[in-house]
Amino acid sequence: MTKLSVNINKIATIRNARGGLLPSVTEAAIKLEEFGAQGITIHPRPDERHITRKDVYDLKPLVKTEFNIEGNPHRPFIDMVLEVKPEQVTLVPDGEDAITSNAGWDCKKHLGFLQNVIAEFKNAGIRTSIFLDPNPEMVQFAKETGCDRIELYTEAYATNYPINKEEAIKLYIETALEAQKHGLGINAGHDLSLENLKYFADNIPNLLEVSIGHALISEALYMGMENTVQAYLKRLAKW
């Protein structure tokens, strides 16, 4: 079964809007695991507009499933991840002014840089994943970085799913099959939702993990957090 890792950035966004402590990021992580989430994802950014450095350190001893830290590997991020030692680090090439992640790595162009960064993480025993657009030709270069997994950037799939789901998923299947050939694990994330997740999970081979935040937290406003997590787990279940 594909694991569900819940991105809790939106919890921090709501908290930061008031400048207080509610809702609690740490309590959210604990409750999400109790409700069945199999991982917790955070994406701290340099301006700390949602997840803060303090949150990162507060969460580490509390997460009992898998802790996944996403981010652009500038030096302060690298040092923080090496100190915290999550189960997984996901490298995302987003600029400091990006509202949200909006592209995967050009692994050919940034090969040397990624090799050096990933070597640091792997020497520390941290599993590495890199954010990748659905592009089979980029997989070979992803493999050469030394990463363990790729995370398929699924915004294009989510956008085109209501129009033509077969066409929307085509490149993702091709990229996943190429990743399998190169021995890479496959994660996915960005704009996956209760509406489009099942079709994606049913058709992507060797899908190990999905990271979902914005849609899940939004849907939980109407359905409740526990019901929403269970609904996502049902979408991922293989009968």
Q: 70, 151, 209, 219: which one is catalytic?
A: 70
The question of whether 43 is a catalytic residue gets the answer yes
Measured between alpha carbons, how far is 38 from 65 in angstroms, rounded to an integer?
Answer: 6
Annotated binding residues for 1-deoxy-D-xylulose 5-phosphate, written as ranges, equal: 45, 50, 100
**Token pair listed for 204:** 């992507």
Given 33, 43, 66, 209, the catalytic residue: 43
Beta strands in the chain (DSSP E): 3-7, 39-42, 67-71, 88-91, 127-132, 149-153, 185-189, 207-212
Residue 150 to residue 132: CA distance in whole angstroms: 6
Q: Classify each residue of 196-216 as buried b or exposed e, where b means 16 or more C-beta atoms within 10 Å of its C-beta.
A: bbebbbeebeebebbbbbbbb
Q: Is 190 a catalytic residue?
A: yes
Number of H helices, E strands in the chain: 11, 8
Greatest pairwise CA separation for the chain in angstroms: 48
CA 109, CA 154: separation in Å to the nearest integer? 22
Strand partners, 7: 41
Binding site: which residues? Answer: 7, 18, 45, 50, 100, 191, 213-214
33, 66, 178, 190: the active-site residue:
190
- How much is the CA Rg of the chain, to the nearest whole Å? 17
What is the rounded CA–CA span in Å between residue 78 and residue 22? 28
Q: Establish whether 182 is a catalytic residue.
A: no
Binding residues for 3-amino-2-oxopropyl phosphate: 7, 18, 191, 213-214
Antiparallel, parallel or unpaired: β 67-71 and 127-132: unpaired
Residues noted as catalytic: 43, 70, 190
